Amino acid sequence: MPDQQRPPRGRIGPARVIGGAALLIGLATGVLTLYDRFATGSVEFEGDVSTQEGAQRFAEFALRHDGEVAELDLGCVDEGNQSRCMAEAPFGDTLLWVFTAERCVSPGDYSGLPSCSGGYVFELGSTEGTDAVIRNGPTGAGSLIVRGRFRIRDAGFAGLFPTVHTFRLVPAAA
């Protein structure tokens, strides 16, 4: 068999340099993307919390992601007692009420709180200096839209209403 000519070993041509650089850039991009997705703790919730299913999903989401930054896109359309959410601002900051069982409060009337089962209140912090958006009343009184990055803080039963599980949603910098 005749000897086939082989390129000299150890010679690094431009194609190998470009291919190696592309491989390193691809690997670095992949690692940084995975790090950004998982190490920052950023998770997402999108949905309508006006229904019992939506309210349950959001309450469970908040319980699972205490201390994490979450990208939120949620809405609450308050249509009275059939809605499982309500928004109000009785003390200045906006409150989002979410009910996984029967609705036990109405705006300004907290007499049902001592026996409230399945009620959660989310205290929404100021969005000043962030890209987060809180729009109270865009579709009527008691309605709310919340969009952006928020840190979820579980305050347990130590919030404004000690018989209701409380969370604080603090806008996070982008």
By C-alpha distance, which of 33, 64, 65, 54 is closest to 150? 65
H helix or E strand, kind and range, residue 22: helix 14-38
d(CA 160, CA 152): 16
Contact 113, 97 (CB under 8 A): no
Residue by residue, pLDDT tens for the chain (174 residues) are 556 666 566 667 666 666 665 555 555 555 444 444 454 546 999 999 999 999 999 999 999 999 999 999 999 988 877 788 988 887 778 889 999 888 877 777 777 777 778 889 999 988 888 888 888 765 556 689 999 999 999 998 877 787 889 999 999 876
Query: 3-class SS at 90?
Result: coil
CB atoms under 10 Å from CB of 64, counted, come to 10
Write b or e for each residue in 74-111: b if 16 or more Cβ atoms lie within 10 A of its Cβ, otherwise e: bbbbbeeeebbbbbbeeeeebbbbbbbeebbbbeeebe
By C-alpha distance, which of 134, 145, 144, 169 is closest to 155? 169
* pLDDT score, position 116: 77
115, with CB counted inside 10 A (0-12, 13-18, 19+), is exposed
* pLDDT score, position 72: 96
d(CA 148, CA 71): 5
d(CA 78, CA 97): 10
Region for 129 from its dihedrals, namely left if φ exceeds 0, alpha if ψ lies in -120 to 50, beta otherwise: left
d(CA 47, CA 34): 25
* pLDDT score, position 140: 59
* pLDDT score, position 122: 93
Residue with the two structure tokens 């999108």: 46
Give domain limits for the chain.
12-41, 43-171
